[in-house]
Amino acid sequence: MRTWVFQGNPDEFDLDAYLATAPAQLPWLVTRYADDIQVGDRVYIWRTQGRQRAVAGVIAEAEVIAPVALRSESADAVPFWRAGAPEATERRPRALMRLVRVATAGEVIRRDWCLEDPILQALPNLKMAAATNYPLGSEQAERLVALWSRTGHDWARDECVAGLWAYAQTYGGSVSRLSGSPVSNVALLIGRAVSGVYNKVMNYRHIDPRDERAGLSGGGDADTRVWNEFFDTVRGELRLSELQTEFNRLWAHGGAAAGADARSEEQALDHEASALERDGLATLMARYNNEVGSRPRRPRASAASTRVFERSALVVAIARLRANHHCEVPGCAHPAFVREDGTSYTEVHHIVPLGEGGEDVLANVACVCPAHHREAHVGKRAQEVAEALKAIRRNGAAAAA
């Protein structure tokens, strides 16, 4: 599978308005590489700035579903061509694609980000802007996958730790975005834009009581929590050794350069589905029916590395036996199914998540049913469930003492 950038000019075709109609099939003019574009290839759709000075960059993802052939423009796309454009009426070489995802305004991978990115600054469309179709190298494709999965989403704790590490590396001096700098290196490691990591460093400068220089005040609660976790208020300094240890734990064994981690992929899918739900069932069913035949029933697999924590099987086993394979959430009434060995199926949940600095120890785990496991992560009562499980562990520790 290859990855491509297909570029559209808003002065010639109203790309935003057309994508907003969620077309079932998307023909795209091919001026080069017709024999190389194959079914299953991934395509990032790039919007140029145009006379209206739109935000240039990646605005959508698509998948090739039919090879390049002489095709007429689809009837639903014709009205979006500017007046007099011959592409609207002439049969031309076109690839046929299905739309996978359209970015919101906050999810666009911006051209100016790419220009300062150590990998994406070599994108072929940035060097030769007049063409329509551009092949990407594997490193460029992997970098876009990582950015595409994270842009527009809140920073998680592990990313904030990396941002704080970059801040510590630059503390007291100037903050560079150039290739090889701590900011640039962290951006590549965690799958964020270089400017995003720079802004995070400036958020920490704003928080830091030691630095009188102006920072950026747009940081979130996660930044404050991570700062408080590693800043010694008595000594008035960062606990650099602890920060380095945590940074190494989270990122030393691989980052996001080769693709989105499992958590980010799941979050991205949930985020996109939640956005779609606002359109209502009738609209979504119409779109689903329009896509029959073009949407694969067996989705492709992507070669993305996953970041997982090396959990202790011993802790899992003890947690299950300690609870006698029953959900420990008080009053749980969710039905449980029985595994082949005759025990009820349960999952072991970290009360303070590993990604947020929780420890893989018995005092931080609980045996829960699948329903309560998901509620503990994404439910409205997540904090209530967490406090109930913490109380059980505290009471158990007190009884053992």
pLDDT in tens, 22-41: 888 899 999 999 999 999 99
For residue 51, is it within any domain? Answer: yes
Q: Are residues 85 and 167 in the same domain?
A: no
φ, ψ (nearest 5 deg) of residue 271: -60, -45
Q: How confident is the model at residue 361 (pLDDT cuts 50, 70, 90)?
A: confident
d(CA 166, CA 152) in angstroms, rounded, equals 21
Let me know the angle formed at the C-alpha of 156 by 151 and 158, rounded to the nearest 5 degrees: 115
Lowest-confidence region among 32-41, 49-58, 236-245, 307-316: 307-316
pLDDT digits (tens, 9 = 90+) for 196-205: 999 999 999 9
The CATH number of whichever domain residue 113 belongs to comes to 3.10.590.10
Using the CB atoms, write b or e for 335-367: b if 16+ within 10 Å.
Answer: ebeeeeeeebebbbbbbebbbbbeebebebbbb
For residue 351, is it within any domain? Answer: yes
Q: Are residues 181 and 121 in the same domain?
A: no
Q: Are residues 105 and 162 in the same domain?
A: no
For residue 209, is it within any domain? Answer: yes
Place of tokens 């602890």: 242
Question: What is the number of structural domains in the chain?
Answer: 3
Among 232, 251, 270, residue at a domain's last position: 251
d(CA 381, CA 246) in angstroms, rounded, equals 29
Q: How confident is the model at residue 303 (pLDDT cuts 50, 70, 90)?
A: very low
pLDDT digits (tens, 9 = 90+) for 150-168: 999 999 999 999 999 999 9
| C-alpha 328, offset from chain centre | 32
Q: Are residues 53 and 171 in the same domain?
A: no
Structure tokens at 212: 């009188």
Structure tokens at 281: 């069932």
Q: Are residues 117 and 197 in the same domain?
A: no
| 367: helix, strand or coil | strand
Give me the percent of the chain exceeding a pLDDT of 70.
Answer: 89
CB atoms within 10 A of CB 271: 16
Q: Are residues 220 and 173 in the same domain?
A: yes
For residue 226, is it within any domain? Answer: yes
**Does residue 143 come out as left (phi exceeding 0), alpha (psi in the -120 to 50 range) or beta?**
alpha
For residue 321, is it within any domain? Answer: yes
Among 137, 172, 199, residue at a domain's last position: 137
Q: Looking at per-residue confidence, does 22 or 119 come out higher?
A: 119
Residue-level pLDDT at 398: 77
Helices (H), 258-381: 262-277, 281-291, 313-322, 370-378
Q: Are residues 93 and 25 in the same domain?
A: yes
Q: Are residues 129 and 162 in the same domain?
A: no
Q: Are residues 26 and 131 in the same domain?
A: yes
For residue 222, is it within any domain? Answer: yes
Domain holding 63, by residue range, is 3-137
pTM above 0.95, yes or no: no
Q: Are residues 132 and 228 in the same domain?
A: no
Residue type, 243: L
For residue 216, is it within any domain? Answer: yes
| Most confident by average pLDDT, 7-21, 112-126, 210-224, 336-350 | 112-126
